[in-house]
Structures are given as C-alpha cells and as structure tokens.
C-alpha cells in the first residue's frame, strides 16, 4: 500500500493492509555508513565530481550545494561536511560519496519524492477546512520528514485545543510512479478530554464550591451541558488562575497567590484532574485614599469625592481598576484623550491596610485630527460619518466617541462589539479616531412556513434590504398568510433626506383579519383594512426624536360566520345580523368605515444597540387623532418605557412598562353601545402578556346556553367573546440567562420573566334578549320571536281552510307587542332557547404571570417557546401554559 513513516507518528505505526517499503535510515546514520569504509589520505586533490541518481535536479545544481570543487584538496572531514550539507537541503532521501581513494568523486543521490496529493482520513469532529490551514506541505512540493513531523504536531495541537488530548495522527505515504507519493494523515480523534475533578488545596476563607464557581472551567457532570467549559484547555487553566487571583483581590486578599496549578491525566488517559495549591494571605482594608492631578482643569478634592470607596472599606482591586477607568473617562470628557491615570499603592503589613493614591499625569488637550473608516465595501462613507458625534477639528470628547460607536452599532450593518479606536496624531495635541468595520449581510429574502400556537399554519414570503444601495435606506415587501390573517405590505424609509437628518418613508398595505372564537370554533367577524401611511422623523436633541405620521384606512367589518345571519330578518335578502347567535355587541360593530388619522411620537432613546440592547433605556409617547375626514373620530394615546442593564456574569436584566387610552369623539349609537368600535380598542393576551390565551385578558361576554326547560346543557355550550377595552397597562420584568459555549453554538437564549397587565374601561353592553321567567320554577323560558316582513311587520297565518277550499291569506300587523292577530289567526314566530350572558373582566385589577422561555435559532427557522403560569386572574380570563412559534420572527 505504501511506506509507513514510523518516526513521524504521534502513536505507533499501524500495519498496512498491503506490504510497506521501509524508508532509508536517518541522515546522520547514512552519512556515517557512507564514510565508514573510506580511508582517505590527507590533502588529496579532487580530479572530478560526478553526480548519479538525480532525476529532477541538474548535476550542476547538486554540486553547487557542496563545499567541494575540482582541483581543491579534500579529506575525510570535508567529505563528511559535504554529506551533511546535501542532506540539510532536504532534497534527498539518501546521499553517498564514492571514489574518495582515487580523487574521482561519485556523488550517488536518491531524491526525495514529490507530493502528488494530501489526504485526510478519520477526521469527523474537525472538518478539513479547519485542518488544512495547519498543514504547510502542499501538492507539488518536495516531501521531507521534518515538514511532515511539523504538520503532525500542528494537527495534534489543533485537536488538543478542542480538548481531545487522546487524538493521534499517523502519516503514511503511498508510492506512485515517477518518484511521486500520496501523503495520507490518518487521524484517530479519540474522546473529548473533560475535567473530571478540580481540587483546591490551601483555601480556608472560601469553600471549594465558591472558588470553582469563579472559574471558567467546570467539572464534567450530568447537569453541566449548558456550562460548556468542561473540556480541558491549557489556556483556560491559566485564565482560571487569573480569575482566582481577581476574586481574592476583590475581597481584600492582596497577598494571594497561586503556588501551583497541575493538570494530570486519569489512568485511562481520557479525562483530567486539576489541582490548585493556593496561599490566601491576610485580608487588607483601604488606608488613605487620595487623588492627585497634574492637569490644572481638575481639582483633586472634587475628584476624590467620585472615588467609590473610602478609608476602612475592605480592599477591592476591581474598584481600583474601575476608578482608573472612571477618571480616564472623566479626563476624556474634557478633551484629554491620553490622560495617564496611575494608582500608587502603599501597603502596611502591620496594620493590614492598603493606601491608594491616583495620580493623573499632565497631558495636552487633544483635538480630532481625522476620522478613518476602514472595511466598508458596500456602505458609503457618508452613511457612517453622519453617525459620528465628532467632526475633524472638534475637541476630543470620550462621551461623544462612545455615543458614535453606539449609533454605528445600532445601524445593524456591521459586526457586534464594534470599537472606535484612538491613536496619537501628528502632534501631541492631535488624536486620530479609526474604526475597522466588518459588514454583515443586510439583505433578507425569506420564504418560510411554520406553525404557531397563535395562528396555526402560516406562510411568510418577504424581501427586505436594510442598506439599500449602501445608502442606509430600507426597502421591504412582504406577503403573509395564516389561518387568521392575510396581508400584503410594501414600505420604504429614507433616514437622511437630502443629506439632512430628516427621515421620511411610506407604507401601503392590505390586511385581512379574522377574529376567531376558540370556544365557538368559528370566526366572530372579519376585518379587511386597505390603506397607507406617510412617515417623517426629525431629531430634537441627541437622544430625543420626533416622529410624525398620517394614515388613511378603509375598513370593512363583516360577519365571520353564516350562522350569525338571521334568515328570517327583514329585507329581500337574509343579510341581517342575528343577535341571538352573534350577540348584540357584535352586531352593533358591522359596517364600513373610513379612518383618517394624524399622529406623532416622541422618542427618548439611549440604548446601546437597537437590535439586542444590553444597556440604556427608551421612552416613547405617542398620540393618534382620527377625524381629519372619515367616519371615525378618536384620540388614542400610548406611553411605553424600557430599561436594560448588565447584571454581571453575562446576565442582562430588563424592565418595561406601557399603557394606553383611547377617547372617542363620536356619540354613542345607543344605550349600552360603546362609542369606541371594537377594532379600535386595546386587547391583551398571548403575544403581549404571557400565560394567557389570545385576547385572554379583559372585558368579555360569556354566554351559557340553556335547554327549553331553563337548565344548562350538559355538552360544552359556554361561549366567550372578548370585547377589548379603552384603557390598558402592561409591565414586564425579564432576565436573560447566559449559557456556556455548547448551548451558544446551538443558538439558545433562555430567560425568566414576570408579566403584569390589564385592559378595561369598555361600556357594559345591554343583554341580547330578556327571556321570560317561569313563575313556578323561576327558570328562564324560550323566547318567541315573530317573523317579520321586508317592511318590518309581523305576520299572522290564517286558520286551516275547510276541505276543498283555497288557503287563506297571511295578515300583517304592526311590530308591536300590544298588537294581536285576528281571531283564529296564529302569529308566525320562532322559538329561541334561553341563554345567560355575563359581562366580566372589566376591571383594572392586575393580572400576573411568571415563567421562563427560550429562543432557539433552529436549522428550520427561529423558534420561541414560553412556559408561563398565571398567578393572578380575573373572572373570565383564559389562561394558557405553553405558547410557541416556529418559522416566524419573535
């Protein structure tokens, strides 16, 4: 099969299935064997030099590598030197020199083969695109043992970085014609080496578990899947020593040191046991704390008041470091970009105190010399430069630099953790700002299908470009279809109109919505909205923006089910809404309306990232007035606020609250009818407050059907129709939990949350019907409903005619309970079984739910699942434990 390179393998050479040809001996041994039988007298003259065995190299090339020339004197030492020189070129597998006794030297060479191709076998955990860059040899290069040995070491090291210390790599060659070979690296990956145990010796103040919790490396346990750092990594071992030192230094142990850190393989060579030996030392307190400044603008006394610790506090190295950063940033606010802040320590071992003096060195005030932007190949320079809060020639200000970074990051066009670096300019008072960008894909073409607990089956086709033509413009179009909604939308946004900080945009859309009643298993009503919106926005200050909008919508609200149509209603066609089926409150909403609205929003935003914020806050106040024409008049006001902040150790906390109220300027159409139509009200439920079903919170009418005797029907005959409210509030508290590298690679982002909210304020609707009561049992009895003509008159059927006589004619009477049919005539009517209607949920009492959820960027689309328990409910609220979405944004 080939030749085994036993001397190069990281493990013993395995036998080939076919016979293997041994490679010649090592170069040094070959040189000794070549010269061993030769006995040359000193000071002999070289008469000729002949090269034999060469195939690719010319004889003159081979001779050029030797220190011997024709006519020169030679001896054994010079011949030995020539051999070593030729072998050091790594062009030859074997070299001998003959004819030393005659002066006619014959150099016999066997050239190293040429590599035809390089093959990797057995690598599963590491793909070829990860290993290939570590291999320095390449096809058409000369094969040498030293280079193969180096490549083997690099591959093994690559596996060790992945925690696979049992991995071995065995190189083999397959001989081909024309002195060519195939080089094969056979990889035995072995299991991943994990940290079985972490032992700590010498700790007295803190327990082993506390110290292990500070380390990045975790012990391999059944529950350690989410931690991810259970594999052994020498670099992480060194990092953990620094983590231990930092932990002790932040707790006042200034003399702490790690005496030794040893990682040992278990007897089966599969896992590691790590042992730390530590010396804790004594605990120190802060002594005198001072600030000295060589910059005239800074008063040491005022700066001393900003130091977050005082004499007598336990020593904390982290607070010292934070103070250095804070003082440096403070200097940057005044234009000193390169202020040198150095803490000076004075340790007193007798009193166990550590005095700290912060010295701010003298530095010139800096000005921005220029701004360098690198790496933007699609995005135009002006799109980035207009986000900088500094211009060339401005005084340096570190707060504006940070704000510039956050604004560029919030564009969403570039990599995460973007930085704006500061370097010394052409003069001591000049600074250069530069940022190295890595552009991300800003175009989105999505064709997805999925299933959600809210909308059942859904399809989404959308195209969106957030950086159209590199100008920062946004262009989008989308089509959505689900069981309860269909829509088509087109929108465009220009963030800087005519290079001015004025954003303009428009949206046009058509949206079909079906309000589905799950208790009835049928659609309550259908709403078709066709319209558009014009938008504009201008900044008022750095953090405050004003957004204006005008919208024009045409709404059509129709019955959602044929069962709600009254077949016996007046008119030539049966198109009347049947209140006994749909409810009086729903029949009152049917019709076409035009909404012409003008609105504005005031936005205060300091978030560090608009996509996934981790610090900052945002407050939005908005109002929309409908009544500039159209048939609907109302004022809808909303306010919302959210705050994000890092909690440490990768945790991110957030608090948000919002509320709204809509006031109608239309008169109420009648008693018990709210002037705000149902489509303009607020709703809460799944999607807003977790732990409740869709529209599961707030005012609703619960209808319980009865049999003709007034008794509840045993079958499920309780219908629930949410009505929404004119006012609502909603609050959320959430903590995003960090995960280890293993879970991060899967795209998991878990969080725990608590939601609080309510919707209320709608007018109590009148009962659909007043059923008569049986005077004996007190139970409700069926209602007799007359069948009306197209003119709204009651009908009386004549008595049965005598045999052989034609039937009589129907007589009409006014639709008045006092009106009676003629003698022997019967009133045409239907019998309506009784039902009970309860109006519930119209209360500002807070509903509370808690739970946890997980976002997962799955291979088949984004996935979100929430498990929430409703702790506080009101009568009529519909709770729901689990909600999820697949294949749609969340």
State residue 101's pLDDT score.
85
Decide which of 129 and 578 is more confident: 129
Say what angle helices 27-35 and 76-88 make with each other, to 10 degrees.
150
pLDDT tens-digit readout, 455-474 = 556 676 778 898 998 999 99
**Which contiguous run of DSSP H or E holds residue 158?**
helix 145-161
Local confidence band at 323 (pLDDT 50, 70, 90 cut-offs)? very high
pLDDT tens-digit readout, 215-272 = 888 888 765 555 567 878 888 889 999 999 999 999 999 999 999 999 998 887 778 8
Local confidence band at 370 (pLDDT 50, 70, 90 cut-offs)? very high
User: Under the phi-then-psi rule, with left for phi > 0, alpha for psi from -120 to 50, and beta for the rest, what region is 281?
Assistant: left
CA 49 to chain centroid, in Å, comes to: 72
The 430-436 sheet, strands edge to edge: 367-374, 430-436, 421-424
State residue 524's pLDDT score.
59
pLDDT tens-digit readout, 377-402 = 899 999 999 999 999 999 998 888 98
Burial of 165 (0-12, 13-18, 19+ CB in 10 A): buried
State residue 404's pLDDT score.
92
Residue 25 has pLDDT above 60, yes or no: no
Local confidence band at 888 (pLDDT 50, 70, 90 cut-offs)? very low
Is residue 854 within 8 Å of 864, Cβ to Cβ? yes
Percent of the chain predicted with pLDDT > 70: 85
Tokens 């005008």 belong to which residue? 550
Instruction: Quickly list DSSP for 382-400.
Output: HHHHTT-S--TTSBP-HHH
Buried b (16+ CB within 10 A) or exposed e, 386-401: ebbbbeeeeebbbebb
DSSP state of 499: G
Residue 572 has pLDDT above 70, yes or no: no
State residue 522's pLDDT score.
52
Mean pLDDT over residues 179-199, rounded?
89
- Report the residue count for the chain: 890
User: Pick from 152, 155, 115: which is nearest to 2 by CA?
Assistant: 115
Query: Strands (DSSP E) along 718-860, which ranges?
Result: 718-722, 727-736, 748-760, 783-786, 794-797, 811-813, 826-827, 829-832, 835-840, 847-858
Mean pLDDT over residues 660-673, rounded?
88
Lowest mean pLDDT among 594-608, 793-807, 859-873: 859-873
Local confidence band at 792 (pLDDT 50, 70, 90 cut-offs)? confident
State residue 568's pLDDT score.
47
State residue 475's pLDDT score.
93
User: Pick from 38, 174, 34: which is nearest to 118 by CA?
Assistant: 174
Residue 452 has pLDDT above 70, yes or no: no
Residue 450 has pLDDT above 60, yes or no: no
User: Under the phi-then-psi rule, with left for phi > 0, alpha for psi from -120 to 50, and beta for the rest, what region is 327?
Assistant: alpha
Question: How many CA atoms lie less than 13 Å away from 840 in the CB half-sphere?
Answer: 16
Is residue 675 within 8 Å of 667, Cβ to Cβ? yes
């Amino acid at each position: 099969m080939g030749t085994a390179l036993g001397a190069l393998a990281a493990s013993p050479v395995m036998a080939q299935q076919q016979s293997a040809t041994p490679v010649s001996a090592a170069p040094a041994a070959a040189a000794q064997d070549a010269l061993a039988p030769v006995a040359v007298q000193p000071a002999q003259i070289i008469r000729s030099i002949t090269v034999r065995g060469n195939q690719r190299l010319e004889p003159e090339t081979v001779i050029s590598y030797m220190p011997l020339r024709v006519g020169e004197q030679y001896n054994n030492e010079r011949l030995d030197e020539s051999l070593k020189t030729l072998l050091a070129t790594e062009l030859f597998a074997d070299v001998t020199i003959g004819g030393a006794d005659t002066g006619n030297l014959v150099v016999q060479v066997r050239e190293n083969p040429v590599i035809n191709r390089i093959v990797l076998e057995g690598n599963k955990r590491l793909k070829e695109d990860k290993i290939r860059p570590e291999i320095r040899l390449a096809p058409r290069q000369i094969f040498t043992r030293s280079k193969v040995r180096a490549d083997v070491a690099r591959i093994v090291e690559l596996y060790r970085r992945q925690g696979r210390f049992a991995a071995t790599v065995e190189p083999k060659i397959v001989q081909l014609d024309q002195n060519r070979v195939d080089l094969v690296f056979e990889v035995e990956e072995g299991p991943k080496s994990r940290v079985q145990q972490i032992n700590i010796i010498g700790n007295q103040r803190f327990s082993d578990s506390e110290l292990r919790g500070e380390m990045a490396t975790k012990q391999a346990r059944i529950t350690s899947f989410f931690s991810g750092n259970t594999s052994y990594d020498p670099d992480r071992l060194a990092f953990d020593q620094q983590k231990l030192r930092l932990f002790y230094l932040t707790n006042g142990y200034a003399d702490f040191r790690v005496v030794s850190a040893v990682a040992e393989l278990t007897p089966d060579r599969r896992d590691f046991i790590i042992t730390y030996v530590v010396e804790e030392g004594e605990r120190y307190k802060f002594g005198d704390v001072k600030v000295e400044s060589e910059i005239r603008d800074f008063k040491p006394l005022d700066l001393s008041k900003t130091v977050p610790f005082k004499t007598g506090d336990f020593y904390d190295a982290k607070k010292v470091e934070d103070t250095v950063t804070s003082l440096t940033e403070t200097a940057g606010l005044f234009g000193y970009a390169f202020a040198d802040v150095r803490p000076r320590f004075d340790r007193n071992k007798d009193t166990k105190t550590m005095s700290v003096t912060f010295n701010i060195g003298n530095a010139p005030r800096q000005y921005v010399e220029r701004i360098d932007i690198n790496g933007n190949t699609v995005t135009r320079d002006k799109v980035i430069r207009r986000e900088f809060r500094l211009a060339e020639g401005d005084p340096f200000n570190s707060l504006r630099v940070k704000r510039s970074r956050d604004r560029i990051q919030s564009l969403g066009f570039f990599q995460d953790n973007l930085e704006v670096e500061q370097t010394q300019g052409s003069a001591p008072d000049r600074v250069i700002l530069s940022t190295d960008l890595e552009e991300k894909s800003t175009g989105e073409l999505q064709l997805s299908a999925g299933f959600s607990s809210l909308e059942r089956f859904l399809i989404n086709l959308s195209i969106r470009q957030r950086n159209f033509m590199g100008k920062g413009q946004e262009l989008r179009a989308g089509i959505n279809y689900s069981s309860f909604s269909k829509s088509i939308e087109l929108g465009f946004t220009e963030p800087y109109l005519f290079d001015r900080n004025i954003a303009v945009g428009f949206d046009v859309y058509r949206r079909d919505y079906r309000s589905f009643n799950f208790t009835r298993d049928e659609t309550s009503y259908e709403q078709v909205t066709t319209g558009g919106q014009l938008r504009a926005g201008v900044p008022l200050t750095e953090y405050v923006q004003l957004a204006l909008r005008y919208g024009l919508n045409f709404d059509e609200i129709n019955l959602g089910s044929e069962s709600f149509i009254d077949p016996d209603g007046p008119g030539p066609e049966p198109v009347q809404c049947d209140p006994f089926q749909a409810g009086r409150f729903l029949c009152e909403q049917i019709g076409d309306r035009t909404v012409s609205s003008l609105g504005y929003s005031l936005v205060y935003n300091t978030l560090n990232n608009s996509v996934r914020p981790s610090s900052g806050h945002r407050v939005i106040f908005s109002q929309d007035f409908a009544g500039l024409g159209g048939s609907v008049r109302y004022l809808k006001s909303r306010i919302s606020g959210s705050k994000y902040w890092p909690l440490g150790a990768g945790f991110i906390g957030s608090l948000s609250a919002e509320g709204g109220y809509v006031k109608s300027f239309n008169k109420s159409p009648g008693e018990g009818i709210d002037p705000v139509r149902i489509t303009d009200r607020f709703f809460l439920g799944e999607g807003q407050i977790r732990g409740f079903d869709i529209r599961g919170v707030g005012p609703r009418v619960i209808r319980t059907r009865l049999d003709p005797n007034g008794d509840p029907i045993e079958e499920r005959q309780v219908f629930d129709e949410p009505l929404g409210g004119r006012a609502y509030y909603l609050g959320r508290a959430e903590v995003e939990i960090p995960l280890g590298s293993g879970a991060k690679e899967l795209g998991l982002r878990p969080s725990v949350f608590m939601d609080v909210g309510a919707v209320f304020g709608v007018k109590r609707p009148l009962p659909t019907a007043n059923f008569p009561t049986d005077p004996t049992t007190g139970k409700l009895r069926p209602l007799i409903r007359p069948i009306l003509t197209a003119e709204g008159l009651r009908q009386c059927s004549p008595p049965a005619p005598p045999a052989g006589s034609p039937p009589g004619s129907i007589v009409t009477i006014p639709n008045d309970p006092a009106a009676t049919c003629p003698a022997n005539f019967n009133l045409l009517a239907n019998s309506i079984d009784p039902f009970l209607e309860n109006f519930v949920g119209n209360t500002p009492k807070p509903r509370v739910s808690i739970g946890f959820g997980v976002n997962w960027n799955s291979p088949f689309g984004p996935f979100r699942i929430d498990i929430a328990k409703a702790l506080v409910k009101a009568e009529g609220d519909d709770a729901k434990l689990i909600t999820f979405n697949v294949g749609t944004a969340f």
